[in-house]
Amino acid sequence: MRPIGVLSLQGDVREHVATLENLGVAARRIRRTSDLEGIEGLIIPGGESTAIGHLLVTSGLREPLATLIGDGLPVFGTCAGLILLAERVLDGRDDQWSFKALDVAVRRNGYGRQIASFEAPIEIGERGTVPGVFIRAPRIESFGPGVNVLATHDHGDGTGAHPVLVRQGAAWGCSFHPELTSDVLVHGLFLDALREALR
Amino acid sequence: MTSSLTPSSVGSALVKRGLADMLRGGVIMDVVNPEQAKIAEDAGAVAVMALERVPSDIRRDGGVARMSDPQMIQEIQASVTIPVMAKARIGHFAEAQILQALDVDYIDESEVLTPADEENHIDKWDFTVPFVCGATNLGEALRRIAEGACLIRSKGEAGTGNVVEAVRHLRTINAQMRRLSSADPSELFALAKDLQAPVALVQEVAATGKLPVPLFCAGGISTPADASLVLQLGAEAVFVGSGIFKSEDPVRMAKAIVEATTHFEDAAIVAKVSTGLGAAMRGAETASLEQRLAERGW
């Protein structure tokens, strides 16, 4: 398999690279347009979505990535990455833009500011339970019919269960940070689907 | 397939250190009002540090420097979507309690403010909100981590616009970590004694070759080239205090330092963003300083 790109403008890039390498997959850090040549898929890491969004524009990566994602490049975003893939962003900046690859509405800091950041076990259907690390996490408030919800979390705040891991075609997003733990299940699911599509 | 929250999971070391991980590769900017906070966010800052006076003004004005007015912190929180940090005096746990009650995202127990306790730093394990602390060497960094700091910044010399102290502190921390990595395990006890740091943390650094928490750089960064320099020296992100809003063109300087931080290894990009920036802050030579802020804390 060709390398998986990890968008390396800002955020917890190193952890995603390490997780991919633990799964035996080559990772390539993406900072400029020439880095995009020949990647099999892309991970957008955690970080600050406004900062990464700004750097996507200044680096010239926004347009070529929008084209690649629109053409079906497998892409997986965690936390800030989910925000950058979402169709709608609530409580963001007025000029906040996104790639609109996932038909979900996400609320920035939807679980609260840092003091409310939390850990909770996340059950992914029959595939098992992973540790969920939510840091100023975006909350998925609604989703369209094309979205496949793979895991949810009920925060006990009376709003019920919200999706925390979703997939729409080749685009995946999650509210939490699987890359911050040693559990590789979520990345593995993304890679399994990617290999399946290659076959 | 619905999981539910366990109450003990808020404020864990993983979520506290995790926010610092999310700030890596970014620029945290000192701001004194909502307008500056907007400029910082527009420029791509990953967080802002809300304070009443930037360090160069604190240095100029003298007097006791304290935590900022809660109203000013709240106005800044309302004006941006990125994390907002604020400073408490060294050892002043009541100021830290107030900042936690204000829901700030990170507390900087900072030598830029006048220390409130000359013996003890804040017991940071007591708090849900994470703390960043400054350090001039590895022993100081590990003592702060032992007290619960989730992020270390090399101190540099705040408010000078002079990067020399930041370089000294980063190089010192890195050299001391390399020394631990090459030591025989039986030597680590004596090295811990020399560093005045807990043995367990010394052993962890020896095994991993890095701090248990992220290492950022602060104090004197005032150009894109300075940012590139300290990132190449191993800093994972930068705090810029006076360097942006004391420069001739803060909007361009802020954007330029953000780009230089991301592309620190690409001299062509750092050259491009450095071109025609206008004057950086004037700055001060370390030898001419009456007060060395980095000597506060121990």
pLDDT digits (tens, 9 = 90+) for A96-113: 999 999 999 999 999 999
Sequence-distant (6+) residues with CB within 8 A of B217 are B153, B154, B156, B166, B170, B230, B231, B233, B235, B237, B238, B239
> What's the whole-model pTM score?
0.96
Alpha-helical (H) ranges within B128-249 are 138-146, 164-181, 188-195, 199-208, 224-232, 242-245
Residues of B in contact with A134 (CB under 8 A): 15
Q: Among all residues of chain B, which has the CA nearest to that of A118?
A: B10
Q: Which of residues 139-198 of A touch B (CB under 8 A)?
A: 151-156, 161, 177, 180-181
Q: Is the pLDDT of residue B46 over 80?
A: yes
Note the pLDDT of residue B7.
47
CA distance A163 to chain B (A): 9
User: Does the pLDDT value for residue B2 go beyond 60?
Assistant: no
Q: Tens of pLDDT along B122-137?
A: 999 999 999 999 999 9
What is the rounded average pLDDT of the residues B199-228? 97
Q: pLDDT band at B183, cuts 50/70/90?
A: very high
Q: Is the pLDDT of residue B281 over 60?
A: yes
Per-residue pLDDT averaged across A21-32, rounded? 97
The pLDDT of residue B292 is 84
pLDDT given at position B219:
94
State the greatest distance between any 2 C-alpha atoms of chain A, in Å, as a whole number.
47
Band of residue B290 on the pLDDT scale cut at 50, 70, 90 = confident
Please check whether residue B19 touches A, CB under 8 A.
Answer: yes
pLDDT 10s digits, B115-172: 999 999 999 999 999 999 999 999 999 999 999 999 999 999 998 999 999 999 999 9
Is B266 near chain A, with CB under 8 Å?
yes
Q: Which residues of A are catalytic?
A: 79, 177, 179
Write out chain A residues lying below 8 Å of B47, CB-based. Answer: 48
pLDDT score recorded for residue B283: 80
Catalytic residue among B16, B87, B155, B246: B87
Q: Which positions in chain A touch B266 (Cβ < 8 Å)? A: 31-32
pLDDT for res B1? 42
Strands A171-174 and A139-143: unpaired
Q: For residue A48, give how far its alpha carbon lies from the nearest alpha carbon of chain B (Å).
A: 6
| Euclidean distance between CA atoms A157 and B262, whole angstroms | 38
Picking from A11, A91, A153, the nearest residue to B3 by CB comes out as: A153
Residue A34 DSSP code? G
Q: Which residues of B touch A29 (CB under 8 A)?
A: none
> What's the rounded mean pLDDT across residues B238-258?
95
Smallest CA–CA distance from B47 into chain A, residue: A48
Contact B14 A123 (CB under 8 A): no
Given a cut of 80, whether residue B285 has pLDDT beyond it is: no
Q: What is the mean pLDDT of chain B?
A: 94
Alpha carbon distance B111, B155 (integer Å) = 8
pLDDT of residue B66: 94
Q: Tell me, what's the pLDDT at B62?
A: 87
Query: Could you tell me which residue, B52 or B169, shows the higher pLDDT?
Result: B169
Angstroms from A49 CA to nearest CA on chain B: 9
User: Domains in chain A and their CATH numbers?
Assistant: 4-198 (3.40.50.880)
Does B245 score more than 80 pLDDT? Answer: yes
Mutating which of B6, B8, B9, B19 best tests the A interface, going by the most A Cβ atoms within 10 A? B9
Query: How confident is the model over B22-36, as pLDDT tens digits?
Result: 999 999 999 999 999
Contact B3 A46 (CB under 8 A): no
Query: Cβ separation of B25 and A132 shorter than 8 Å?
Result: no
Set of chain B residues whose Cβ sits within 8 Å of the Cβ of A47: 22-26, 46
As a whole number, the mean pLDDT across chain A is: 97
Average pLDDT over residues A29-47: 97
ipTM (interface predicted TM): 0.96
Distance separating the N- and C-terminal Cα atoms of chain A: 11
Angle at B206 between CA B203 and CA B210, to 5 degrees: 115
pLDDT classification of A190: cutoffs 50, 70, 90: very high
